[in-house]
Structure 1
């Protein structure tokens, strides 16, 4: 899996591409840890638009980052999940903890009161 990171103020946007499996989860964890160690953040936006598959390792990585973000006083949002990935997220109950948005602008606007999908 590939992880592309971009900062927008104190928001870190992580654009993932590939399979969010055991290997992908490890790549994700290392990339995010390295980024937030260097710079303070308020919001992590995880873009899954280019992710074709997610398993329990990927779910665990998302939930682990969610818990860590809460400890850091930050929020996490997931955007652009394709239908098969969204179905797995919903079956796992992830949207009860991490909000899902259709795209990055919707997640970035959440702080201004824009609703979830």
Structure 2
């Protein structure tokens, strides 16, 4: 799993590439936690465009970031999930908590509604 991080204002964009499995989920968690300890944020955008595979560990990592963001008064969005990844996210009910967007631009342009669900 490769995690590329980029700040734009108070938004952290995390671009993931590879498998979001047990190992990938741990890499994702560590990278995000390290970045969020250094700087305040309002929005975490997780770009899954280059994710080939996601399992329950990956789903747990996403929900963990969602819980952390709620505690911090921030929100989380998922962008660019390929069809096979999007299907897993939907089957697991992730959109109930974390909105899914077609791409980063759509996620960045969405109005902020922390705690809306």
In the alignment, the residues of structure 1 paired with residue 19 and residue 112 of structure 2 have an alpha-carbon distance, to the nearest angstrom, of 32
The alignment status of 1:92 with 2:89, answered yes or no, reads no
Which residue in the other structure is 2:16 paired with? 16
In the alignment, the residues of structure 2 paired with residue 105 and residue 82 of structure 1 have an alpha-carbon distance, to the nearest angstrom, of 16
In the alignment, the residues of structure 1 paired with residue 58 and residue 47 of structure 2 have an alpha-carbon distance, to the nearest angstrom, of 13
Which residue in the other structure is 2:39 paired with? 39
Following TM superposition, by how much is the alpha carbon of 1:112 offset from its aligned partner in structure 2, in angstroms? Answer: 7.1
Q: How does 1:1-117 map to 2 (within 5 A)?
A: 1-111=1-111
1:111 is paired with a residue of what secondary structure? coil
In the alignment, the residues of structure 2 paired with residue 94 and residue 111 of structure 1 have an alpha-carbon distance, to the nearest angstrom, of 19
1:98 is paired with a residue of what secondary structure? coil
**Residue pair 2:45, 2:76 contacting (<8 A) in 1 also:** yes
Paired residues in the alignment total 113
Q: Normalized against structure 2, the TM-score is what?
A: 0.95
1:30 is paired with a residue of what secondary structure? helix
Following TM superposition, by how much is the alpha carbon of 1:111 offset from its aligned partner in structure 2, in angstroms? Answer: 2.0
Structure 2 gaps, min length 5: none
